[in-house]
Chains A and B, each alone.
Chain A
Amino acid sequence: MSESGPVKIGKGSPEDPVFVGVGELPSGRYPQRSFIGDLTLVALRALKDAQMAPRDVDTIILIPNLHSFNDQADLIFSRLVEELGLNGHAKASFMVHSGGSTSDNAVRVASGLIASGHARTVLVLQCERWGSANLAEMVTMLSKNGIPGEWELPTGLQFNAIGALITRRYMHASRSSPSDMAAMCVALRQWAQLNPNAMYKGKSLTVEQVLASRMIADPLHAMECPMLADGAAAFVMTSAQNAAKRGIRATVRIAGSGGCVSHYSIGQEADLAVLGWPTAAKRAYEQSAWGPKDADFAEIYDSYAAVTAIAVEGLGLAEGGEGARWFAKNSTPGGKFPCNTNGGLLSAGHTGVGGGMALLIEGVRQLLWRAESERQINGCERCIVGGTGGSYMDAQVLLLERVASGVSA
């Protein structure tokens, strides 16, 4: 069954929603930075990248933070309208939330608003302060949110255990070894060396180091678990017509999108080594009329290596059961099929809901040919973006393609 998806407008249509700019602040531990300050600065970076000013924006979509409910209230209640000087000018400012897949759903919302004429230019903003937050409080929060209180909370489930349940089943089903899984972490770390915004830039990693690190939740070692980080990211979308009118020559459009929400509780996932990826991929490929062989690279949520190994199989990039080995072999810098070129959540830093956002804007940045030269994929035109939220409740796929001078490059 094919889903209708977001409002689908053909390539070359004046109302085709397109990305025109992205902005990002470095991920890591930055106690001196502030939440509203980072949101303001990252908004201005994205607007500058889009050759726009705040007054060019009529709608702001906020990606939630997980570090503070008080800060969340500032997102919900339009503080950024005031910070950016858009009082009386902005039509709407609101939050969208589906955990780690929020960025994918925010793209769908922004696209629908633009295509239907409810918005002309949408600014999407995200900031997380996990790296500077109280770790014990964050662990407690992550052990309650997204876990059914009636049925699973009494077991003592928490986020690393959820990642471990998926990793164990994936390793069993695919006969992947601990070294196979660790090699994915090493590949991500190699990308992080080329990303000035990555938390682990300047810190090398080997398979031996991963396997020698402390066991946290069998079979996950400490260095296979994501490090909580501060970070901020933003992007700007407008209609193809408006981009052309403004003289913007390179944009990125959405060729198709597909999603599958396969569970809420980790205990109710039918197959922890498959998740929703095959269904989401099929829906996205049907809508776009392109397939895995048409993509030049991918940016896929990677809070644990197995999550991404499962995704590359479901997306048809790797043969069934070969996801982890395929990734380590092909997706490194200089490899046949680059993946997670910012270093991913595991090496750029886990900025909460921002982890997916960082991957998404890295995909757009690469397609706009604006990544730093040492990691820019030369001449890239098509990217698969994959996201997932909560207890890996969903698989979200966005198929992005570069459009230059009003026509697809």
Chain B
Amino acid sequence: MSTAIVAAFREGLERGELLIQKCAECRKLNMYPRYACPFCQSENLHWQRSTGRGRLHSFTVLRMGAPEGFEADLPYALGVIKLEEGVQLLARLLPDAAGDWGSYVCDQAVELAAPPTTQPQYRPCAWFRRSNVSR
């Protein structure tokens, strides 16, 4: 994955920023980032930093059958996040205080978080946690 938009998105994640692509022509937001604006076909595309706030549309905790290279991450949770900017993405979820994900429910508020230090390997994806949980 060596294209410029992937690199820019991932560099943002490494700085702790979730970047949303913004079309300079029609001003619409594109998530996932596109190679041409799907609304007006412009190639004049920039970035906007997300507030990192959103709602959890759905989530799961994978306990068995990890893809190759993800075995050491098990168990881990994935969620579909609807950002307050009106776009959405798939992300990883931090475990709650009990070390599992039992306190998560659909539609609750979530926010961008740093990857946990216990994670065996850095993954170039966004992490979220419940908004009302202090760490």
Contacts and interface: CB of A to CB of B under 8 A. Distances in A.
Interface stretch (A107-115, A211-219, A349-357): A211-219
Interface string B52-89: 00000111111111111010010010101000000011
A156 B60 contact: no
A178 interface: no
Contacts of A136: 68
B65 A160 contact: yes
B113 interface: no
A165 B62 contact: no
B125 interface: yes
Interface string A237-271: 00000000000000000000000000001111100
Contacts of A143: 67-68
Given A148-B32, A268-B88, A155 B65 contact: no
Interface residues of B, number: 37
A74 interface: no
B32 A150 contact: yes
Q: Name which of A136, A156, A160, A169 has the most chain B CB atoms within 10 A of its CB.
A: A156
Interface in B7-49: 9, 31-33
Interface in B78-104: 78, 80, 88-92, 101
B60 A218 contact: yes
B116 to A, nearest CB: 14
Interface residues of A, number: 37
B57 A272 contact: yes
B105 to A, nearest CB: 8
A117 interface: no
Contacts of A214: 63-64
Given A151-B33, A156-B70, A157-B78, 7 more contacts: A150-B1, A158-B65, A172-B58, A173-B106, A218-B101, A266-B90, A268-B32
Q: Return the 3 tightest CB-CB contacts between A and B, nearest first.
A: A267-B90, A143-B67, A164-B60
Interface of A: 136, 139-140, 143-144, 148-152, 154-158, 160-161, 164-166, 168-169, 172-173, 214-220, 265-269, 272
Interface of B: 1, 3, 5-6, 9, 31-33, 57-68, 70, 73, 76, 78, 80, 88-92, 101, 105-107, 123-125
